[in-house]
Amino acid sequence: MLDSFTEKLGGIFRKLGGKGRITESNVQEALRELRFTLLDADVNFEVVKKFIANVKEAAMGEEVLKSLTPHQQFFKIVKDNLIDMLGGEHAALATGPKKPTVYLLCGLQGSGKTTTCGKLAGQQSKKGKRVLATPLDIYRPAAIEQLRIVAGKTGVSFFFPEGDNDPVSIARKAVSHAEDNNYDLLLLDTAGRLHVDEKMMEEVRAIISAVNPTEVLLVVDGMTGQDAVNIATSFDPVGVTGIVLTKMDGDTRGGAALSVKYATGKPIKLIGTGEKFDALESFHPDRFVSRILDMGDMLSLIEKVEANLDEEDARKLEKKLMSNKFDLEDFRNQIKQVRKLGPIANLLGMIPGFSGLKKHVSDDMAEQQVGRIEAIICSMTPDERKNPGVINASRKRRISKGSGTTVQEVNQLLKQFDMMKKMITQMQKGAMRQPGFGKFR
Amino acid sequence: MFDRLKKGLKKTSDSLRHKISAAIGRAVKIDDEFCERLEEALLLSDVGASTAALIVDEIKSKAMEKRPADAEALNALVVDILAEILESGAAAEPLAPGLNVVMMMGVNGSGKTTTIGKLAMRYKAEGRKVMLAACDTFRAAASEQLEIWAKRSDVPIIRQREGADPSAVMYDAIQAARARGADLLIADTAGRLHTQSNLMRELQKIQRVAVEKAGVENFRAWLVLDSTIGRNSYNQVQQFGQAVPVDALVLTKMDGTARGGVVFSILKEWRMPIMFVGVGEKMEDLLPFNASEFSRALLGDAVDPA
């Protein structure tokens, strides 16, 4: 996400940092490049103007130019202004005063409403909520069917009154169905509409005034260009309460993200970061900016780990680690768990300073490697997994044949595992010396 | 047809023309301020930053040379250069005799399935024997969606269950198209972000199967671009093109507010032919791209060479 943008910004800061002293003209030049980078990242023109003016005002101050670390000061100014532009604080999804809480999704055709609806359904039901999904798109062929399938896949309930052709009445029926059946959350997926289409905009206004949703979420394609601001400002008056940016896993430079909040004042609440149904993240301006500026996003990484890892498994593993009984079977489970977190390259982007490395680790390369390791372990007998010591040359040949790998690869894995065990032993010794380390699993 | 185009592009056209004349104002002086205002006008219409810089440079040198007498002449000069860009583009290759296989590809939500629905109707009305192949076996209800379009235009469709191998669908579809004597097979593929290399390889496999089966002369890969997308269109063109040679582009959703600027980048910087532009929801709103008509609809009749 946002790689090329990050790269360009990094270049600007490096250049500035390379100069021993910062003068007004250095800053001017950096600002010019910053302006071009932002424009090239599809940040709205007006937003860029305002942003540059703000940074300039702050950067031209005496304190910055005279400070001992002027480029760091400049970096901080840019960072603070970016966070500011994105809304500063994290805005969470609201819960209604009584059941059901209703979220309505609206936006242009193809922005990703139905997919987001599915992701949101999965995320909320994972949190223990009873979720109902209802389509209000009576226009696009098979739109209703799509949501029905998506709801089935994410394991939430689906409701559609067959034969009803009026989105307002469907929405009303959905609300009373949710009330009667004690659902916590109702998701309404509206039809895609163009913001210049008066009739369709009137329809969404009518739906909103009929059911009064807790959240009206505007779904915007993260790759949108200058039109993002027009779209957001035309949808805003219907009562938008928050924005969802989708398709942020591509190589978009995220300019839309930087513009919509500024244009509407409405917070970005969620971002979609992948094809799978769990690829939906809450949006935190400060973390997002950290990622843009290659300062990593450890917090999101940790949250991701917590959300995806089974606590029970983690405890078992910790015990095994402590008693030094960690075997290849555990190693395989470990790999499985990590894979649940999503593509490895994405994880790298969240670690400070690692985003540059991301380019060299193509997703499927890492994925393939991991797949081979799994195959090798799967080709071992349970006994071999517990006591890798028994694996002799003939066993190695059998394992390599069984897993479609070579003996060298089997050797490599065994060696790696050996090293890992040694490291664990060392870590245990270290943990005893360093109080509190045990908490950090 | 021209009226439809004009109506669809009205918003973009109004805003672009308004911005250009505002940039020019009453001044005839070609100074930095003028250039900056002009660049702003282009950027706001989604002409990418580098294309905008190219165009501004061109206008600057042309204006220095011709020295227009008043604002009106300057305006005409600007419009002339823009029109020239629009009309300099390469023409898309027409369909070959025999069975043509057109593979539609693009990112998620660009409008592939809807475009195919409209194309099926259009080509059928032109007297072709059209068939559809539902190679999007990934997205929920994608093949149902295509099937509804097939019914609407009354053309046969080849589909398999969700999760089937898309290249197998392509193989079957070509065989079926041959057997039924069709001369145009349009294949829908799953939306994919151009950064997902495994999905791009899947696309290559579908293409390989189609080329082997139908012959390279009779295979076309059309990339569907959502005109709402800004700079990222460039990455899409580049990376889809790296996976599968793109024969032509189809631009959807041109009937917005600040769209269409991407056309300048496509023709000026990337030099890609455009096959169709979509300017509305209706079937008739998908129009074959005609450079001079497009330029007239976008920039006004002033540049009509006739």
DSSP letters for chain B: -HHHHHHHTHHHHHHHHHHHHHHHTT-----HHHHHHHHHHHHHTT--HHHHHHHHHHHHHHHHHH--SSHHHHHHHHHHHHHHHHHTSPPPPPPPSS-EEEEEE-STTSSHHHHHHHHHHHHHHTT--EEEEEE--SSTTHHHHHHHHHHHTT--EE---TT--HHHHHHHHHHHHHHTT-SEEEEEE----TT-HHHHHHHHHHHHHHHHHH-GGGEEEEEEEETTB-THHHHHHHHHHHHS---EEEEE---SSS-SHHHHHIIIII---EEEEE-SSSGGGEEE--HHHHHHHHH-GGG---
Check whether B259 has a pLDDT greater than 90. Answer: no
Q: Which domains does chain A have, with CATH numbers?
A: 3-85 (1.20.120.140), 101-295 (3.40.50.300), 303-439 (1.10.260.30)
Q: What per-residue confidence (pLDDT) applies to B166? A: 95
Q: Do A362 and B226 touch (CB under 8 A)?
A: no
Percent share of chain B, pLDDT over 90: 44
Q: At residue B158, does pLDDT exceed 90?
A: yes
Residues of B in contact with A225 (CB under 8 A): 46, 228-232, 258, 261-262
ipTM of this model? Answer: 0.78
Rounded Cα distance, A310 and A321, in Å: 16
Distance from C-alpha of A52 to C-alpha of A31, rounded to nearest angstrom: 7
Task: Look at B30 and A266; give whichever has higher pLDDT.
Answer: A266
Query: Largest alpha-carbon pair distance within chain A?
Result: 75
Residue B107 has pLDDT above 90, yes or no: yes
For residues A113 and A233, the answer to whether their CB atoms sit within 8 Å is no
> Across the interface, do A146 and B259 touch by the CB < 8 Å criterion?
no
| Rounded alpha-carbon distances, angstroms, from residue A1 to A129, A140, B291 | 30, 30, 36
DSSP B12-81: HHHHHHHHHHHHHTT-----HHHHHHHHHHHHHTT--HHHHHHHHHHHHHHHHHH--SSHHHHHHHHHHH
Of residues B4 and A24, more confidence is placed in B4
Which comes out higher in pLDDT, residue A289 or B176?
A: B176
Q: Does residue B43 sit at the A interface (CB-CB below 8 Å)?
A: yes
Nearest to A228 by CA among B46, B103, B248, B25: B46
pLDDT of residue A63: 66
Q: Chain A contacts of B229, Cβ < 8 Å?
A: 221, 223-225
| Test mutation, A39, A233, A276, chain B, max B CBs within 10 A | A39
The identity of residue B248, as a single letter, is: A
Which two three-digit tokens encode residue B121?
Answer: 């109707």
All residues of chain B having their beta carbon less than 8 Å from the beta carbon of residue A119 are: none
Q: What's the rounded Cα separation, in Å, for the pair B101 and B132?
A: 10
**pLDDT value at position A433?**
45
Cβ within 8 Å, pair B257-A36:
no
- Which residues in chain B are closer than 8 Å to A41, comparing Cβ atoms? 231
Residue B93: band (very low, low, confident or very high) from pLDDT cuts 50, 70, 90: confident
Other C-beta atoms within 10 Å of A312: how many? 8
Q: Please report residues of A whose CB lies closer than 8 A to that of B262.
A: 225
More confident residue, A310 or B19: B19
pLDDT at B305: 38
The closest of B66, B178, B152 to A141, measured between CA atoms, is B152
- Gyration radius of chain A over CA positions: 26
Q: How many CB atoms lie within 10 A of CB B296?
A: 23
Give the Cα separation of B166 and B147 in Å (integer): 16
Contact B276, B64 (CB under 8 A): no
Phi-psi region of B164 (alpha: psi -120 to 50; beta: other; left: phi over 0): beta
For chain B, domain boundaries? 100-246
What value does the CA radius of gyration of chain B take, rounded to a whole number of Å? 21
Chain B, window 66-85: residues with a beta carbon less than 8 angstroms from a chain A beta carbon:
none
Dist CA A219 CA A168 (whole Å): 20
Answer whether residue B275 shows pLDDT above 70: yes
Is B152 within 8 Å of B68 (Cβ atoms)? Answer: no
Among B48, B50, B141, the residue with its CB nearest the CB of A142 is B141
Say whether A45 and B43 touch across the interface (CB within 8 A). Answer: yes
Q: Give helix B166-179 / helix B197-214 axis angle, nearest 10°.
A: 20
Beta-bridge partner residues of B224: B250
Closest CB to A250: pick one of B194, B198, B226: B194
Contacts of residue A301, defined as CB under 8 A and 6 or more positions apart, other chains included, come to: A347, A350, A351
Residues 6+ apart with CB under 8 A from B106: B112, B191, B223, B224, B225, B226, B236, B240
Question: Helix B32-44 vs helix B49-66: angle between axes, to the nearest 10 degrees?
Answer: 140
Q: Extract the tokens encoding A96.
A: 């209604």
B19 neighbourhood in chain A, CB within 8 Å: none
Phi, psi of B193 (to 5 degrees): -75, 135
Q: Which residue of B has its CA nearest to A253?
A: B232
Q: Which pLDDT value is given to residue A297?
A: 60
pLDDT of residue B129: 95
pLDDT in the model for residue B120 = 95
Residue type, B172: D
- Give, in words, the CATH class of B100-246: alpha beta
Contacts of B202 in chain A (CB under 8 A): none
Q: In the prediction, which pLDDT does B12 show?
A: 79
Q: Omega of the bond prior to A343 within 30 degrees of 0, cis?
A: no
| Predicted local confidence at residue A130, as pLDDT | 95
Looking up tokens 């294309």 gives B51
> Taking the CB of residue B101, how many other CB atoms lie within 10 A of it?
27
Mutate which of A147, A148, A226 to disrupt the B interface (most B C-beta within 10 Å)?
Answer: A226
Task: Please tell me which of A9-23, A180-194, B61-75, B270-284 the model is most confident about, judged by mean pLDDT.
Answer: A180-194
Helix A285-292 vs helix A70-85: angle between axes, to the nearest 10 degrees?
130
Q: What is the pLDDT of residues B288-306, one digit of tens each?
A: 998 888 888 888 755 433 3
The two three-digit tokens of residue A189, written as one number = 């997926």
| Contact map slice: A 99-158 vs B, CB within 8 A | 108-112, 115, 140-143, 145-146, 148-150, 153
C-alpha B148/C-alpha B154 separation (Å) is: 9
Q: How many residues does chain A have?
A: 441
Q: Chain A to chain B, count of Cβ pairs less than 8 Å apart?
A: 141
**Contacts with A218 from chain B: Cβ below 8 Å:** none
What pLDDT is attached to residue A438?
A: 38
DSSP label at residue A109: T
Residue numbers in chain A where pLDDT is lower than 50: 1, 432-441
Top residue of A116, A148, A223 to mutate, by most chain B CBs within 10 Å, is A223
